[in-house]
Amino acid sequence: MGRAFVYVILGGGVAAGYAALEFSRRQVAPGELCIISEESVAPYERPALSKGYLLPENPARLPQFHTCVGANEERLTTKWYREKGIELILGTRVKSADLKKKELLTSSGETITYNYLIIATGARALKLEEFGVRGSEAENVCYLRDIADADRMVNIMQSCAGKNAVVIGGGYIGMECTAALVTNKIKVTMVFPEKHCMARLFTAKMAEFYENYYKARGVKFVKGNVLTSFENDPFGKVTAVILRDGTRIPADMVVVGIGIRANTTLFDGLEKGGAKLALEKGGIKVNGRMQTSDGSVYAVGDVAAFPVKLFGNDIRRLEHVDSARKTARHAVSAIMAPDETGDLDYLPFFYSRVFALSWQFYGDNVGEAVHFGDFPNGRFGVYWVNEGCIIGAFLEGGAKEEYEAISKVVKTRAKVSNVGELEKLGSGFALRESQKLVESTGTGRIASAGTGTGTRSIMEKPLYKWHATAGVAAAASIAVFAYWYGVRRRRW
């Protein structure tokens, strides 16, 4: 049994949804495109799972957050795919790939052939067992990667109100899940090996603000320590976690957020006769057009390792939703309009929202960290300055125009002659420099990104319709905006 398509997207997550929209805009003909996904629902905005989905009141539920609402675009429901003649093959795992025959074999035994393949298999949550700790299968241990995980976590949280949770891991999944648990009236202890939370991005000073904010909401932190085993009741349910130094923490539920691994196994050539593509940085290596070492195969999103122009074409594998959206669109553009599509010029961008807080980060966090703003009141930021240029910027509680301004100074690598002045001016520096750009270019717009066709601005961010409305409020009052933004954005 088999079917043939011109274009096949392998994986049905964020990147798949944005690729489908781009295909549709580029007039893909009915019957030419299919998406094969292990998940049983059409592509959705995955970040919603650790935010709006876990709220105790008015939680976000599908079909509300199907792609591409996160970028303020059309919401692609199953009806949309049907109307466009795009085949959704859901609840179906691809077991193997034959790149020579341009064939995929699915778990249902079907063979799907393609002319062009886009690999969008994303990543999976790392399991405790990969670190030598057993017990992931216990009924009250949660991971959070897909909607099935989120449903499970919601059920467990509902039986744990007023009880104790232990969160393993201090990255963004750990931080966002902890906020959700607290909102669900569950007492949380966070355990992680680093000296402070979000160690890959935050400086000690940034982390201090967030940890204090969490502590004020009852969260306990156990740092520089790791989980070594669980204590279980006779039915296998976890009752406590045991740490390396012997500390025992009672637990009614455990949430594990210890990182992810890109889903490359179909293409790493490790299985006898398996397909083999070039890999780098734990992902599938692509060029600036998202093309792999096989000319008919593209890779996008979390699974792709691509050259970032801004970092001197250093190959990076990014695990962020904005990158998934833009690499997906770019690959489609490269396939359908090869003559118009150059190399992706991407500005790395990441955001998070917890409680009423909200931050955005652009670029890279290497070099000297220059902190600015009002830390006690949660209106602060950091610039990373390397060789006299700004190469990264972070802002908490900013207004729309401030976020746009910091992204511009990173993208243009604004020169810094006086670090003291930068610290004093804070986001005012970015606003001033971006105003200069407006005056010199007439629009302030800089190199296009995402499609490489010059049609989309690098400044695009995952804004919802009401977020755009918020921009107006921001002009009137930054403080009012910051509050509103935090409260509203937390839903998704």
Ligand X SMILES: Cc1cc2nc3c(=O)[nH]c(=O)nc-3n(C[C@H](O)[C@H](O)[C@H](O)COP(=O)(O)OP(=O)(O)OC[C@H]3O[C@@H](n4cnc5c(N)ncnc54)[C@H](O)[C@@H]3O)c2cc1C
Residues found near ligand X in the complex (CB under 6 A): 11-16, 36-39, 46-47, 49-50, 93-94, 120-123, 144-145, 173, 263, 266, 301-303, 319-322, 324, 350-352
Q: In whole angstroms, how far apart are CA 35 and each of 15, 21, 178, 302?
A: 11, 12, 34, 17
Smallest gap from Cβ 441 to ligand X, in A, equals 28
Helix (H, G, I), strand (E, B), or coil: what is residue 336?
A: helix
Using CB positions, name the residue nearest to ligand X. 13
The residue among 249 and 253 lying less far from ligand X, judged by its C-beta, is: 253
Give every CB contact of residue 453 below 8 A, 6+ residues apart in sequence: 333, 337, 340, 341
Alpha-carbon separation of residue 469 from 150, 464, 466 (angstroms): 30, 9, 5
Beta carbon nearer to ligand X, 101 or 132: 101
To ligand X, the closest distance from the beta carbon of 376 in angstroms equals 25
Closest distance of CB 13 from ligand X, Å: 2
Contact between 399 and 431 (Cβ < 8 Å): no
> If 0-12 CB within 10 Å is exposed, 13-18 middle and 19+ buried, where does residue 30 land?
exposed
Cis upstream peptide for 68 (omega within 30°): yes
226/244 Cα distance (integer angstroms) = 6
State in angstroms the smallest separation of the CB of 462 from ligand X: 8
Instruction: State the nearest-atom distance from the C-beta of 46 to ligand X, in Å.
Output: 3
Please, which residue, 10 or 251, has the CB nearer to ligand X? 10
Which of 405, 459, 454 has its CA nearest to residue 432? 405
- The token duo for 417 is 């002659």
Question: Which residue number, 232 or 287, has a Cβ lying nearer to ligand X?
Answer: 287
* CB 172 to ligand X: min, Å: 6
Record the tokens describing residue 65, joined without a space: 């957050």
Residue among 121 and 341 whose Cβ is closer to ligand X = 121
Question: Based on CB atoms, which residue is closest to ligand X, 53 or 481?
Answer: 53
How far does the chain reach from its first CA to its final CA, in angstroms?
Answer: 40
Considering the complex, state which of residue 106 and residue 164 has its C-beta at the smaller distance from ligand X. Answer: 106
Q: What type of residue is 68?
A: C
Least Cβ distance, residue 247 to ligand X (angstroms): 28
DSSP 87-153: EEE-S--EEEEETTTTEEEETTS-EEE-SEEEE---EEEPPGGGGT---TTSTTEE--SSHHHHHHH
Q: Sort 338 into a burial class: Cβ within 10 Å, 0-12 / 13-18 / 19+.
A: exposed
Give the nearest distance from C-beta 167 to ligand X in angstroms.
13
SS3 assignment, position 168: strand
The least distance separating ligand X from the CB of residue 362, rounded to whole angstroms, comes to 12
- Tokens encoding 452: 């490489």
Query: Which of 322, 402 has the CB closer to ligand X?
Result: 322
Using the minimum distance from each CB to ligand X, give the nearer residue, 102 or 145: 145
Task: List strands edge to edge, sheet with 283-285.
Answer: 279-280, 283-285, 304-308, 314-316
DSSP letter (8 states) at residue 428? H
The distance of closest approach from Cβ of residue 406 to ligand X in the complex, given in angstroms and rounded to an integer, is 16
Pairing mode, strands 357-363 and 368-374: unpaired
CB nearer ligand X, residue 249 or residue 357: 357
Closer residue to ligand X in complex, CB, 267/372: 267
The minimum distance between CB 305 and ligand X, in angstroms, equals: 12
Strand order in the sheet with 2-4: 2-4, 111-113, 103-106, 94-98
